[in-house]
Amino acid sequence: MTVGVGKSITKICGKDVLIADPDAKTIIIVSAYMAEGCDPGKIDLVAREIEAVPDTVIISIDPNRKYNRTNLIWGGPPEAVLESALRFASAALSNIDMRQAGAESALFGAIDLVSFLPLHSREMPRVVKLSKQYAREIARQFDLPVYLFGFSTRAAQKKNLNFFRQYAYRDLSELIDKPRWKPDYGPRQWQAASGACIVGARYYHINLALYFDTEEVDLINQLSEHYQTQARNGVNPPGADAHQQALRLLGRVKMAADKLPDEKIVRLICNISDYLDTPLAPVIKAIREEARKLGIEVVGCEILGYLPAEALVNAGRRFLAESAPRFREDKLRYITLALQNLQLSSIMPFDLNRQVLDYHFEIDLDHV
């Protein structure tokens, strides 16, 4: 086999696989869902398969008994990520039979969703290539219908995961014969034991919580529903004033409000699916300003889970540019500025070493 510049051949599951542009300094994150959340033995078996690959780091294992699913997040260099993702697929498909639980499952298959995410946005083209390579491999090795989503597909309606989430495993036997449901890879045939899999590249979804000095959850729902309605209706008001800019920005953020038990405050959880398109600093600023119009204040913010360093560095750059635009590049200083100005430790201490994905790997912040 002829191998091009910047490519190499590695053995994965006993087969020769061409890896495009390997780079030991590049770290790729995988977020994968499998249709097992109740059997600790099976979950541990799958996790051990992932962890057995050198240079692979498991960040999170989150089983959900109610929905019988587990989300695993891990990462590593491109070669290690591809091999560990294939091992994940093999272990899950060998131990999960959708015919036993599929009728009630909201998932697509035994390996429901596998997302590949760059630690830095400039790596997205490489991540897209890797996601497609993975999709081809699992389709070929496991005779599995595979659909692409996010940055990995050219089909506009399939870029948003909501296109797939309208349906589940129980619907696939009828859907798969319809024109727009032809799999991107694998057989156009109903697989009762395994279902199908959704694969793609996306940015890491950041879950941001804002806390307000009010007990009126309806008031915060009113605030969030206003923007969500604008987004659903495709409203994109012209103009450059602050309110119109807030409408455009916050309409792209998913929001949900709830009242914390034993606390006299309400929390608004914002899911940011693209931290370049909807950066942390402008999102928080817009919500603060819109809330003040209702007579309420944001008393603190919190990151729920993880985020890439790039999201904090970008926020820190914005704050420093406003006060001291000329200085030596210092990524940790940017992160510190972001944590302080966005009040991300005001509710719960922000754990830099745990919550910043980059710190799970032996790399510095020069890549950001």
Average pLDDT for 20-30:
70
* pLDDT > 90? residue 301: yes
Out of 17-21, 244-248, 299-303, least confident range:
17-21
- For position 135, which CATH number holds? 3.30.990.10
Instruction: Output the pLDDT for position 168.
Output: 93
Is there a single domain that holds both residue 165 and residue 90?
Answer: yes
Stronger pLDDT, 216 or 88, i.e. the higher one? 88
Q: What is the average pLDDT across 263-269?
A: 87
Lowest-confidence segment of 12-26, 112-126, 169-183, 227-241 by average pLDDT: 12-26
293 token code pair: 């119009």
Q: What domain range includes position 350?
A: 206-367
| Confidence class for position 237, pLDDT limits 50, 70, 90 | low
For residues 150 and 236, membership in a common domain is answered with no
For residue 165, count other CB atoms closer than 10 A to its CB.
Answer: 13
Region 274-285: what's the mean pLDDT? 94
Tell me: do 253 and 168 sit in the same domain: no
Listed residues 183, 201, 219: the one ending a domain = 201
* Helix ranges (DSSP H) in 116-267: 124-142, 162-165, 172-175, 217-232, 242-250
Quote the pLDDT of residue 251.
83
Residue range 302-316, pLDDT digits in tens: 999 999 999 999 999
Q: What is the mean pLDDT of residues 197-221?
A: 93
- Number of domains observed in the structure of the chain: 2
Residue 175 Cα distances to 100, 105, 163, 181, 190, angstroms: 20, 16, 13, 6, 9
| Residue 5 pLDDT exceeds 70 | no
pLDDT at 22: 41
pLDDT in the model for residue 232 = 60
User: For residue 10, what are its two tokens?
Assistant: 């590695």
What would the pLDDT profile of 343-352 be if each residue is shown by its tens digit?
A: 999 999 999 9
What phi and psi, each to the nearest 5 degrees, are found at residue 184?
A: -70, -35
Distance of CA 150 to the CA centre of its chain: 11
**Do 122 and 243 fall into the same domain?**
no
75 and 157, same structural domain?
Answer: yes
Mean pLDDT of the chain: 87
User: How does pLDDT run across 142-201, given as a tens digit for each residue?
Assistant: 999 999 999 999 999 999 999 999 999 999 999 999 999 999 999 999 899 999 999 999
Question: What's the pLDDT score for residue 362?
Answer: 75
15 versus 37: which is more confidently predicted? 37
Give the dihedral of Cα atoms 346, 64, 43, 105; nearest 10 deg: -140
Contact 119, 167 (CB under 8 A): no
Residue 103 has pLDDT above 80, yes or no: no
Query: 212 with 192, same domain?
Result: no
Say whether both 246 and 197 belong to one domain: no
Question: pLDDT value at position 210?
Answer: 95
Instruction: Determine the average pLDDT of the residues in 130-144.
Output: 98
- For the stretch 47-56, pLDDT in tens is 999 999 999 9
- For residue 311, being part of any structural domain is answered with yes
pLDDT at position 367 = 65
Phi–psi pair at 17, nearest 5 degrees = -130, 135
